[in-house]
């Protein structure tokens, strides 16, 4: 009986500790009395837990507040940089790296042109990039939670093996091999799932959504209650291989008419020698070729948005390389999508992305941030 009571008390203590920590995640600064009033805990309990969080380096004093006539109360804030995680985004021709704090804020980023090769030299380069990032941040090793690597391929549930990697021709590649020069815990993540997770994690108002990645290849992610839904065979969200034109353009997958062949960023950037920013610069100048290309692209995007919405009936977040520039055009995208909808005249479910081109790397880093926060 005494053992059961002790276990119950420990569970209560653990819940109090977690609840207080989560409250700090949602607020910039709090006093002890703020916590007492919000969570209905006793002042000694709050004080004990705040002291424990301060000792772990997760909270810090943030000045005082109160009326000048009485004793000013000390405020505390969440030490977001108490732990950090590194995220890497690998594509055919580039590598991007970010550092993310416990709030999900990107405070370091670098992107370099580097052609993917399944070689020891390439993986050594990845390790050097990670070490350079950490050296630039002057971050103690014990604050590094891990390194997430976002890849354009389907990844096993344990985040250790690529079981479909046609884009980079690296099916069967393992996390252990790719991270051989990275001296931290590592995980592989599907690029679209990582990006979609990042977008919903940072937006507290959207927890269920479809993320449409408009990059050099098209990907998608189904996020349900804040977690990626991979499906029975880990194919969920692969909207790039939905057919929007029967017997249409040839796709790299072997089929015809796939979304990937109509909405890939290269459909736009091929007009400007592969530079997507230059395409949107032309578009702003009303260049006739850019306008014609964009008009066709928007029609295909509206059709894809409509098809996804008919299936999932949830917010759709537009991201990827095109997503970085898409915000000024959202009204037109909503108008064209609404014209296809038999049920709704407005489409307020369409959103521009938050993280832009850092989404994949940020989401890959957040894999380790979330794992840490779940243990606090």
The domain limits of the chain are: 2-78, 83-195, 205-353
Comparing 149-153, 252-256, 257-261, 341-345, which segment has the lowest mean pLDDT? Answer: 341-345
H or E element that contains 76: strand 73-78
Same fold, 2-78 and 83-195: no
* Predicted local distance difference test score (pLDDT) of residue 267: 96
Per the CB < 8 A criterion, the answer to whether 238 and 221 are in contact is no
Q: What stretches of 275-326 adopt beta strand conformation (E)?
A: 316-319
Query: pTM for this structure?
Result: 0.87
Per-residue model confidence (pLDDT) at position 70: 63
CB 197 within 8 A of CB 366: yes
Which of 58-67, 242-251, 361-370 shows the lowest per-residue confidence on average (mean pLDDT)?
58-67
Name the residue with higher pLDDT: 68 or 12: 12
**Contact between residue 148 and residue 189 where contact means Cβ atoms under 8 Å apart:** yes
Query: Residue 7 — pLDDT band, cuts 50, 70, 90?
Result: low
d(CA 62, CA 39): 21
Q: Which residue has tokens 């997430």?
A: 148
Give the residue-averaged pLDDT of 88-107: 94
Rounded CA-CA distance 246/237 in Å is 20
Torsion, Cα 155 158 159 162, to 10 degrees, reads: -30
Q: How many CB atoms lie within 10 A of CB 253?
A: 14
Q: Is the confidence at residue 1, as pLDDT, over 60?
A: no
DSSP at 165: -
The residue with greater pLDDT, 204 or 229, is: 229
Residue 173 to residues 55, 160, 364, 368, 372: CA-CA distances in angstroms? 41, 9, 17, 21, 26
Kindly report the CA angle at 137 between 28 and 372, in degrees rounded to 5?
55
Q: Does domain 83-195 bear CATH number 3.30.420.40?
A: yes
Q: How far apart are CA 367 and CA 326, in angstroms?
A: 27
Inter-axis angle of helices 43-55 and 2-26, nearest 10:
70
Average pLDDT, the chain: 92
Is pLDDT of 103 > 80?
yes
| Closest to 220 measured CA to CA, from 293, 311, 296 | 311
The three-class DSSP label of residue 207 is coil
Q: Could you count the other beta carbons within 10 Å of the beta carbon of residue 263?
A: 26
Looking at domain 205-353, its CATH architecture is 2-Layer Sandwich (3.30)
Instruction: Kindly state the tokens that stand for 128.
Output: 């050097």
Query: Phi and psi of 64, rounded to 5°?
Result: -115, 160
Q: How would residue 364 be classed by pLDDT, with cut points 50, 70 and 90?
A: very high
Q: From CA 88, how far away is CA 358, in angstroms rounded?
A: 9
Query: What is the 3-state composition of the chain as percent helix, strand, coil, each rounded to the nearest 5?
Result: 45, 25, 30
Average pLDDT over residues 348-367: 94
**What's the pLDDT score for residue 279?**
97
Which pLDDT band, with edges at 50, 70 and 90, does 69 fall under? low
The domain 2-78 is classified under which CATH number: 3.40.1030.10, 1.10.10.10, 3.40.720.10, 3.90.1170.40? 1.10.10.10
- Token couple for 63: 């000045």
As a whole number of angstroms, the distance between CA 127 and CA 133 comes to 10
User: 94-101 and 84-90: which strand pairing?
Assistant: antiparallel
The predicted structure's pLDDT at residue 318: 98
Lowest-confidence region among 58-72, 108-122, 330-344: 58-72
Distance CA 235, CA 227 (A): 15
């Amino acid at each position: 009986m005494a053992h059961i009571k002790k276990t119950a008390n420990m569970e209560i203590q653990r819940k109090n500790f977690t609840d207080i920590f989560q409250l700090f995640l949602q607020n910039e600064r709090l006093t002890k009395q703020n916590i007492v009033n919000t969570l209905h805990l006793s002042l000694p309990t709050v004080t004990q837990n705040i002291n424990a969080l301060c000792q772990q380096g997760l909270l810090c004093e943030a000045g005082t507040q109160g009326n000048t006539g009485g004793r000013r109360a000390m405020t505390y804030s969440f030490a977001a940089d108490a732990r950090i995680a590194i995220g890497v985004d690998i594509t055919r021709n580039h590598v991007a790296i970010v550092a993310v704090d416990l709030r999900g804020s990107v405070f370091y980023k670098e992107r370099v042109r580097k052609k993917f090769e399944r070689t020891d030299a390439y993986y050594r380069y990845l390790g050097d990039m990670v070490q350079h990032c950490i050296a630039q941040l002057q971050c103690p090793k014990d604050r590094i939670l891990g390194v997430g690597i976002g890849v354009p391929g389907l990844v096993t549930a344990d985040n250790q093996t690529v079981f479909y990697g046609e884009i980079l021709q690296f099916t069967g590649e393992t996390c252990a091999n790719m991270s051989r020069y990275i001296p931290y815990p590592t995980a592989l993540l599907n690029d679209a799932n990582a990006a979609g997770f990042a977008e919903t994690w940072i937006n507290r108002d959207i927890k269920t959504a479809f993320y449409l990645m408009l990059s050099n290849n098209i990907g998608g992610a189904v996020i349900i209650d804040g977690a990626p839904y991979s499906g029975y065979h880990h194919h969920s969200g692969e909207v790039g291989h939905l057919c929007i034109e029967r017997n249409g353009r040839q796709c790299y997958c072997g089929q015809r008419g796939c979304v990937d062949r109509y909405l890939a960023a290269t459909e736009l950037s091929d007009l400007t020698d592969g530079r997507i920013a230059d395409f949107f610069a032309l578009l702003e100048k009303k260049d006739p070729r850019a306008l014609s290309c964009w008009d066709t692209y928007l029609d295909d995007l509206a059709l894809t948005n409509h098809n996804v919405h008919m299936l999932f009936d949830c917010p759709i977040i537009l991201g990827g390389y095109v997503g970085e520039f898409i915000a000024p055009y959202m009204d037109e995208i909503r108008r064209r999508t609404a014209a296809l909808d038999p049920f709704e005249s407005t489409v307020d479910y369409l959103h521009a992305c938050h993280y832009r081109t850092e989404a994949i790397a940020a989401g890959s880093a957040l894999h380790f941030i979330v794992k840490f926060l779940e243990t606090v």
